[in-house]
Structure 1
Amino acid sequence: MMAVLTERQRAILQAVVENYIRSAEPVGSRTIARLTGLNLSPATIRNEMADLEAMGYLEQPHTSAGRIPSYKGYRYYVDHLLTPEAIDRAWVEALERRFYARSVAIEEALRKTAAILAELTHYAVVALGPEVFTARLVKLEFVPLDEARAVTVLVTDTGHVEHKVVELPQGLSAEDLAHLVERINAELKGAAISTLAPKIHRLLAQAMESNREALFRAERFFEALLHPREEARLIVDGTTEIIAQPEFRSVDRVRELLKLFEAEEPLFTVLRQVEDGVQVHIGLEDVLGLGSPLSLVTATLTVGEGQRTTIGIIGPPRMDYAKAIGLLSALSFIFDAWRERGLG
């Protein structure tokens, strides 16, 4: 249970957290006296900082050093003292234009967004990629190129768009295949991608019962078209940004962090379990099996009917929570508006 802090203690705790976020150096009483405008002597501030340390909100890494926030101190700051940073409207409008200017698939939008957030925050950004095998068929398009080849376009309700140049199966003309594509769109629209194989078999068997050899080739052809590439489950950007943070100067810490991003499964599990809205997770190293302390700020984004994903900014506990929360809140607004306008 959080202790009740006085207004003076709240102001000092906020000053310690925000100065430590900026400097990455322990914060002393003279710095607080100079920057807070509290009109208190350094001695008085030292006494209050000692009380905050006794209550578990601050820590003193070395006897002669100033204080740094504890996890409890960060949590109190995020829950009670932080004001999310106001995001430059020009940035929001630029991101909106990038999405609205042309058709943008969900994967592309998430990758672009992750890259932008990493550049703005100087932390790593992770996002769940759309789970294409739980998606539903929106449409299959078929455009003949010549007598032997065609371009196909698979569109799912997650916004996944996949183009393929394919060889036409022997014994089936482009006209025959175009007719079958029309039937698939008419009868299988809305079906889960993972359930299409038996449905295609039944549909083709009805349409081609007199030609068993052509039926076999058509089945193989359409099953290949309607089986999308397995996308990476986790989108990661900004690894070079986060390892430039002072907390990761050690080679061992950098190696450990890079292994985390390569393994994917621990982060994937955490992202799948986060609650809706913008959430702050402080001190995830035990959950992720790391020696290096980490924090994660996440937002859930609605990217289609019944389809959601999660994006997170990951950094040291000394991360700029006000900026991260402000950016993800603005991003949620952008994705909501984008979805309402038809997702590309």
Structure 2
Amino acid sequence: MDERSKTLLKTLIERYIAEGQPVGSRTLSKYSGLDLSPATIRNVMSDLEEMGFIASPHTSAGRIPTPRGYRLFVDSMLTARPLDRGPELAAQLADLAGQIQGQLAGPQQTPQRMITTAAHTLSNLSRFAGVVMTPRRAQSFRQVEFMRLSEKRILLIIVSPEGDVQNRIIQTERPYTPAQLIEAANYFNTHYTGMSFDAVRDHMRVELQDLRRDMSSLMQAAVEAGSSAMAEDDDQVFISGERKLLEVEDLASSMDKLRRLFDVFEHKTNLLQLLDVSSHAQGVQIFIGGESQLVPIEDMAVITAPYEVDGQIVGTLGVIGPTRMAYERVIPIVDITARLLSSALSQN
């Protein structure tokens, strides 16, 4: 693609993002800064349409960007200017950072509250939906204890390496004495501390023959209950501002789009997969519907960035909005929020 075509495509996408209407040759002539005849512009637009970067709606002579066009735009046409190159931009970003930092700071802010605050902040500043995938908890345990509740009901207490405590009630086929429960806990803590319950299950397949039958059934029940407890607490996603997307015509213009939109929030499978992919990359990632199978709606885009604790990536946050969003405004919001959340969690 030559520079003339790139300039016209960039102008077309910027005007479409700003106005939400198909862009015609007259608008491109006015805003592109190029001295081209309407006929030349129409020829270039025809070439861009043939290459799959723009499309022509049936109801208009103008063109709109395709997912492929948006991808080229965000990958090579958005320029991130360093702070020292533009005093006005530097002031805007500094103000943005101050707003976010003010939201995340405070003596009452626990790590969990910081994460929910980050989701609300992303939504409020972007005016779309903010999403944060919480840090994955360690699947291993530091210690387990058994406490007898009644003749055949036992409370399993699981302590994670971070000191978090999970409780699960186990129904047993036979009664156990307090001494037997201490014996079972000691066996767990001596042989399996630091392992995941799945790893314990594998070890026990081999080692159960060394245990008495009455103790082995208790051990198996504890492993299943512990594995279930860890699985339920993993991969939590906080979403804020879903209702803001109802005001976005591109996403709420039909019942089919609305149904698919709320499927994303209700089931979260695609969202979790997308956020997990983002956690393995550095910096801001942009997923555009129609060209990314992880985004189930063509008119939807997701901008994400990983966040860290003490230099280790532990989760992902981002903004969910329409493909027709002001990327140059939303990208810094996501980027700065990720950096400040990383800093706040590390200090905490």
TM-score (norm 2): 0.66
Judge conservation of contact 2:134–2:238 (CA < 8 Å) in 1.
no
1:119 partner amino acid: N
Partner residue of 1:207? none
In structure 2, C-alpha distance between the alignment counterparts of 1:129 and 1:153, rounded to whole Å: 20
Per the alignment, residue 94 of structure 1 pairs with 102
Amino acid at match of 2:237: I
1:254, CA displacement in angstroms? Answer: 0.2
Equivalences for residues 1-344 of structure 1 within 5 A? 3-6=1-4, 9-35=5-31, 38=33, 44=37, 47-48=40-41, 50-56=43-49, 57-62=53-58, 64-84=60-80, 86=93, 88-98=96-106, 102-105=109-112, 108-132=113-137, 134-137=138-141, 154-157=159-162, 161-162=164-165, 190-192=194-196, 194-195=198-199, 228=229, 230-231=232-233, 233-237=235-239, 238-247=241-250, 248-274=252-278, 275-277=280-282, 278-284=284-290, 287-288=293-294, 290=296, 292-303=298-309, 308-341=314-347, 344=348
Structure 2: distance between partners of 1:243 and 1:285 = 23
**CA drift at 1:262:** 2.2
**Distance 1:283-1:111 versus aligned 2 partners, 3 A rule:** same
Letter in 1 for 2:334: L
Give the equivalent residue in structure 1 for 2:210.
none
Q: Could you tell me how far 1:113 is from its partner in structure 2?
A: 2.0
Partners in 1 of 2:314 and 2:273 — Cα distance?
15
The residue type equivalent to 2:11 in the other structure is: A
Q: Which one has more relative contact order, counting CA pairs under 8 Å at least 6 apart?
A: 1
Would the alpha carbon gap of residues 156 and 12 (structure 1) be closer, same or farther in structure 2, given more than 3 Å must change? farther
Question: % of aligned pairs identical?
Answer: 22
- Deviation, 1:73, is 2.4
1:205-260 deviation line (CA, Å, top 9, x unaligned): xxxxxxxx999999989997897471363525232122321112212210122123
Give the letter for the 1:241 counterpart. K
Structure 1 window deviating more from structure 2 (268-277 vs 286-295): it is: 286-295
Letter in 2 for 1:301: Y
Alpha carbon RMSD of aligned pairs, Å? 4.9
Matched position secondary structure for 1:256: helix
Shift of residue 197 of structure 1? 7.8
Deviation, structure 1 residue 47: 2.8
Q: How many residues align?
A: 323
Structure 2 residues not aligned, in runs of 5+ = 81-88, 146-154, 170-174, 205-213
How has the CA–CA distance of structure 1 residues 289 and 16 changed in structure 2, closer, same or farther, with 3 Å as cutoff? closer
Q: State the distance in 2 between where 1:115 and 1:285 align.
A: 28
The letter for the 2-side match of 1:26 is P
The TM-score normalised by the length of structure 1 is 0.67
Amino acid aligned to 1:47: T
Q: Which runs of 4+ in 1 moved over 6 A?
A: 139-142, 163-166, 180-189, 196-200, 213-227
| Pairwise CA distance, 1:77 | 1.7
Q: 1:102–1:28: structure 2 CA closer, same or farther, 3 Å change rule?
A: same
Q: Deviations over 1:310-334 (max 9, x none)?
A: 3332332212222232122212322
Does the residue aligned with 1:276 lie in a helix, a strand or coil? Answer: coil
- Check conservation: 1:20, 1:27, Cα contact below 8 A: yes
What do residues 256-310 of structure 1 show as CA deviations (whole Å, max 9, x unaligned)?
2212332322333333334502112223477258464332222222346765323
Matches of 2:218 and 2:188, distance apart in 1:
16
- Structure 1 distance, partners of 2:291, 2:67, is 12
